[in-house]
Amino acid sequence: MLYPVMPIYLESIGFSILMIGLLEGLAEATAGLSKGYFGKFSDNSGKRVPFVQLGYLLSAISKPLLVLFLNPAWVMFARTLDRFGKGIRTGARDAILSDEATPATKGKVFGFHRTLDTLGAVIGPLIALIYLYYYPQNYKTLFFFAFIPGMVAVVGSFLLKDKKSDIQKEKKKTSLLSFLKYWKESPADYRKLLIGLLLFTLFNSSDVFLLLKAKQAGLSDAMVIGVYIFYNLIYASFSLPLGILADKIGLKKVYVLGLILFAIVYFGMSISDNIYMFATIFFLYGLYSAATEGISKALISNISDKKDTATAIGTYAAFQSICNMLASTIAGLIWFQFGASVTFVLTGVVTIVVVIYFTSFVKMKEK
């Protein structure tokens, strides 16, 4: 409900492109470090569900907090709290999903999760679009509306139960950066995979910049939200089919295909200037997300021990979010200094380099 509104709202209260980049970068870095820590904490404690419940709770209460005060420091705190909640729940949640799958069905299970998750990203913005049609620029009320489904998610999480027999409990403390040790202990295939994933992430800035480009090209608020809904609809529709396809032909093949689509999207973004071009670009962007988001986690969970699943995914997410922080900050600076086109073209070029790395150097047994 809020994601496509966020950059528009931030601009309306005085945030510059550079400030938005810094805000998103800091929020993602917070999410990343907490994903690593709480992923390791979940493995050590032998519990999953409490982390999921607390994570959804913090994200829910952060929504109304974002509009209580307009002070930049407060907005940064509330946005960071939202990402902190995501960091707490991600590793444990993905470990639950992994435990419900076999190596031969990882793509399907994670793809199904992305389908349902993304359906929320279709329905939510659609509600926002309808609301803003009748109440233009009345953004603040939406943040209070978003609190309701957030709390419904919290209540729903209490239907989950830990399967204690499936999780090996280790009686030891979890320090803030203890998950970093997993990098040294992890399989070589895991490290090779992460190098490629993180190089890509280092230049994959927040989707906020795509929405800002559409807004600055002349699209109305309704059109910006509309293309975002369209993107998520494509994302939701193709996540499960592409997950099933990945199980059949190989997870890495589908992931690389997604990277190629991403490069096309960013090259296209550098020249897009009308609703039809943006519709095409966001269609391809939806296919990219469907081919990579769930599948990257499926790849990771397939090459890590079951007892380390949350740590493996959390460690990746931690490094990923640090790279996201740098990516959003770098993108904001390049956009500020050289314009949007240079930002998107540079990202596209780096993505081609990552495609070459995956096809040439990443050799892995996926099943």
364 within 8 A of 252, measured Cβ to Cβ: yes
User: Average per-residue pLDDT in the chain?
Assistant: 85
Residue 164 belongs to some domain of the structure: no
Q: How confident is the model at residue 8 (pLDDT cuts 50, 70, 90)?
A: confident
What is the structure's pLDDT at 367?
A: 46
Structure tokens at 33: 């470090």
Q: How confident is the model at residue 175 (pLDDT cuts 50, 70, 90)?
A: low
pLDDT tens digit string along 263-304? 999 999 988 878 888 889 999 999 999 999 888 888 888 887
Integer Cα distance of 300 and 320 in angstroms: 13
Residue type, position 178, single letter: S
Residue 163 belongs to some domain of the structure: no
SS3 label, residue 59: helix
What is the structure's pLDDT at 157?
A: 92
Structure tokens at 8: 């528009």
Residue 279 belongs to some domain of the structure: yes
Integer Cα distance of 57 and 62 in angstroms: 9
pLDDT tens digit string along 189-234? 888 889 999 999 988 887 878 888 888 888 887 788 888 888 988 9
Residue 1 belongs to some domain of the structure: no
Residue 100 belongs to some domain of the structure: yes
Residue 317 belongs to some domain of the structure: yes
Task: Give CA torsion, residues 272, 273, 275, 278, to 10 deg.
Answer: 20
Q: How many domains does the chain have?
A: 1
How many other C-beta atoms lie within 10 A of the C-beta of residue 230?
18
Structural domain that includes position 62: 6-158+179-361
Direct distance between the N- and C-terminal alpha carbons of the chain, in angstroms, rounded to an integer: 37
Residue type, position 112, single letter: F
How many other C-beta atoms lie within 10 A of the C-beta of residue 276?
9
Residue 169 belongs to some domain of the structure: no
Q: How confident is the model at residue 349 (pLDDT cuts 50, 70, 90)?
A: very high
Structure tokens at 216: 């600055």
Q: Which residues lie below 8 Å from residue 48, measured CB to CB, with a gap of 6+?
A: 42, 92, 93, 95, 96, 160, 162, 167, 310
Q: CATH number of the domain that 300 lies in? A: 1.20.1250.20
Average pLDDT over residues 48-72: 91
Task: Give CA torsion, residues 209, 213, 216, 217, to 10 deg.
Answer: -170
Tell me, rounded to whole angstroms, the distance of Cα 254 from its chain centroid. 18
What is the structure's pLDDT at 21?
A: 73
What is the structure's pLDDT at 197?
A: 92
Tell me, rounded to whole angstroms, the distance of Cα 245 from its chain centroid. 22
Q: Kindly tell me the sign of the dihedral angle through the C-alpha atoms of 51, 242, 315, 365.
A: positive
Residue 170 belongs to some domain of the structure: no
**Which has the closest alpha carbon to 203: 46, 54, 324?**
324
Question: At residue 42, does pLDDT exceed 60?
Answer: yes
